Amino acid sequence: MSGIGSTGADGLNRDGDLALSEQRGLAAWLPRRLAEERASIVVVGDFMLDGWWSGSIDRMCREAPAPVVDIQRRDFAPGGAANTAMNLAALGASVSVAGVVGTDDAGVELRRQLAAAGVDTILLYEHPDLVTTTKIRISSGGQVLLRFDDSTATVPPDALATLATAVPAAVKHRDAVVICDYGMGILDGKVRTRLIESLAGRSQDTLVVVDAHDPRPWARLGPDLVTPNAQEAAKLLDVRLGNGPERAATVVRHGGRLLQETGANAVVVTLDRDGTVLIPATGNTHRTWARPATEKQASGAGDTFVAALTLARAASLPLTASLDLAQAAADVVVHHPGTSVCGTDELSRYLESFADTALSADELERHIRAHRGDGQRVVLTNGCFDVLHRGHTRYLNQAKQLGDILVVALNSDDSVRRLKGPGRPINSVADRAAVIAALSCVDYVTVFDTPTPIPLIEQLRPEIYAKGGDYTPEMLAETEAVETYGGRVIILDYVPERSTTAMVQRIRNGEGAPIPEA
């Protein structure tokens, strides 16, 4: 792997803390820095073509009680493994693909679009007896009415033999290998065996990501990451995950089994509107929260997520930071109709949009009133959050899980100076607000200038007031204000080895990340 996350000079130290020099303008910097790495990534798997046909309905069919759709527009986009490759290319990776398609019109169009995006298709073989998998949606007035799929029931054996022969060269000297197995037969038998053999002795510099409907057959590979969705995880575990936010808690409870069944170093379960859950073999679980669009006929956000996650990890970005970046990329494409990709510039603009997002207390109160009308619970926490580090992100993730809506109240610049001295804050409140707002676990950011957040608490009346550190509720001046209206004060984990003050001092002294003790 390349080294965006391995040195402080690149803006991130080995523990994933954001360096001082990169907190300002971070949103614009990170996707472009990832693109500059030009990571070499190969996508192996099931390639398909998505069709989005739309038209008007003015009459019913004479032969049956069915509407007649007069098709007025036909759009096609690479889907499945091809969509993952397209997203990787759009984010700046050097991408090649390995798979098999037909010689039909769909196969020709798929190869054309991949090549136009700069994807190397030399190892995307054509076979005359194979029907290129297509998934065509018919819609009218923005509503999908029908989808019809076309594919080959049995993959020709000689097609599999050709692909299996190409596998060792395809995966050699890559920063990352993405295996997209949607159960269409392309990765069965010889191809899977050859992939496992070719990657068995891989160096630590080669990241292996498995995105499969059933990741269990790939357990012998020992992948670095597997990325099942909610339905796939439920099937693997033979449990019902349900449809609400409790799905994440269920995934965490069964985390050990997920790791055991998949043989992976980390499992990331994607939960569509509920974000994602990370289950690592070592370390803490981590959540991301989606910012879903309403009534958008979007498809392929999972492919975008896998692509961004792979690229970030291939560049050695810390895993939790990679997840947040991948969630942001997925949030971008769910606001697009059809099957689409998230590119470097668009991801940068999306992250930049979080600048100047701090709301006034009155604006925030109006939003909270609407959330309470939907039965949602509000969590409020506060702090300076001057130089973001892993202790902060862990704490904010914990706070989010206490309720439904997380509000972060930032100390104003003057307030920070009163608390920390004339040399602080390092970053202005506008920059601090932009960085905090970009975290998927944070719903709203506001700023307060009073000695304590008590006036804000009394106005917003959050169901839960969360505080991190070596406090007890009795030590906090805010406790009485919270308990007066029936709220709860909850103290979250204290991370003693994570100190903003110590980090600032290290940077000012020109020191790097501390070396862990043996």
Active site residue 158: no
Cα-to-chain-centroid distance, residue 76: 25
Structure token pair of residue 32: 């472009």
Using an 8 Å Cβ cutoff, are 13 and 4 in contact?
no
pLDDT value for 4: 58
pLDDT value for 46: 95
Three-state DSSP class for 430?
Answer: helix
What's the mean pLDDT when you consider all of the chain?
85
- Phi and psi torsions of 446, nearest 5°: -135, 170
CA-CA distance, 254 to 79, in Å (whole number)?
Answer: 31
- DSSP class per residue in 335-365: TSSEE----HHHHHHHHHTTTT-PBPHHHHH
pLDDT value for 497: 44
pLDDT value for 275: 87
Close Cβ partners of 57 (under 8 Å, ≥ 6 residues apart): 67, 68, 69, 70, 140, 141
Strands (DSSP E) found in 335-404: 338-339, 378-383
Q: Domain residue spans in the chain?
A: 14-48+78-135+152-205+290-352, 361-508
Q: Check pLDDT > 80 for residue 291.
A: no
Fold equal for 14-48+78-135+152-205+290-352 and 361-508: no
Structure token pair of residue 229: 């969705």
Q: How many CB atoms lie within 10 A of CB 63?
A: 6
Close Cβ partners of 415 (under 8 Å, ≥ 6 residues apart): 448, 449, 450, 451
The interaxial angle of helices 301-314 and 26-37, nearest 10 deg, is 80
Q: Check pLDDT > 90 for residue 206.
A: yes
Q: pLDDT, tens digit, for every residue of 34-43?
A: 999 999 999 9
pLDDT value for 283: 84
pLDDT classification of 274: cutoffs 50, 70, 90: confident
CATH code matching the domain that covers 14-48+78-135+152-205+290-352, chosen among 3.40.1190.20, 3.40.190.10, 3.30.430.20, 3.40.30.10: 3.40.1190.20
pLDDT value for 462: 95
The 3-class secondary structure across 118-167, one letter per residue, is: CCEEEEEEEECCCCCEEEEEEEECCEEEEEEEECCCCCCHHHHHHHHHHH
Average pLDDT of the residues in 173-202: 93
pLDDT classification of 71: cutoffs 50, 70, 90: very high
Q: pLDDT, tens digit, for every residue of 408-459?
A: 999 999 989 988 888 888 888 888 888 888 888 888 999 999 999 999 999 9
Q: Check pLDDT > 90 for residue 390.
A: no
Three-state DSSP class for 478?
Answer: helix
Q: Measure the CA angle with vertex 473, ends 501 and 360; round to 5°.
A: 65
Instruction: Point out the catalytic residue in the list 10, 181, 303, 413.
Output: 303
Q: Check pLDDT > 90 for residue 468.
A: no
Average pLDDT of the residues in 242-247: 76
CA-CA distance, 400 to 262, in Å (whole number)?
Answer: 28
pLDDT value for 22: 36
Range name among 104-113, 163-172, 467-476, 479-488 with the lowest pLDDT average: 467-476
Helix (H) or strand (E) holding 100: strand 94-102
Q: Measure the CA angle with vertex 45, ends 170 and 337; round to 5°.
A: 125
Using an 8 Å Cβ cutoff, are 123 and 96 in contact?
yes
In terms of pTM, does the model score above 0.85?
A: no
- Percentage with pLDDT > 90 across the chain: 54
CATH code matching the domain that covers 361-508, chosen among 3.40.50.620, 3.40.50.2300, 3.50.50.60, 3.60.21.10: 3.40.50.620
pLDDT value for 505: 59
Q: pLDDT, tens digit, for every residue of 226-236?
A: 999 999 999 99
pLDDT value for 17: 41
pLDDT value for 423: 80
pLDDT classification of 205: cutoffs 50, 70, 90: confident
pLDDT value for 184: 92
CA-CA distance, 364 to 216, in Å (whole number)?
Answer: 46
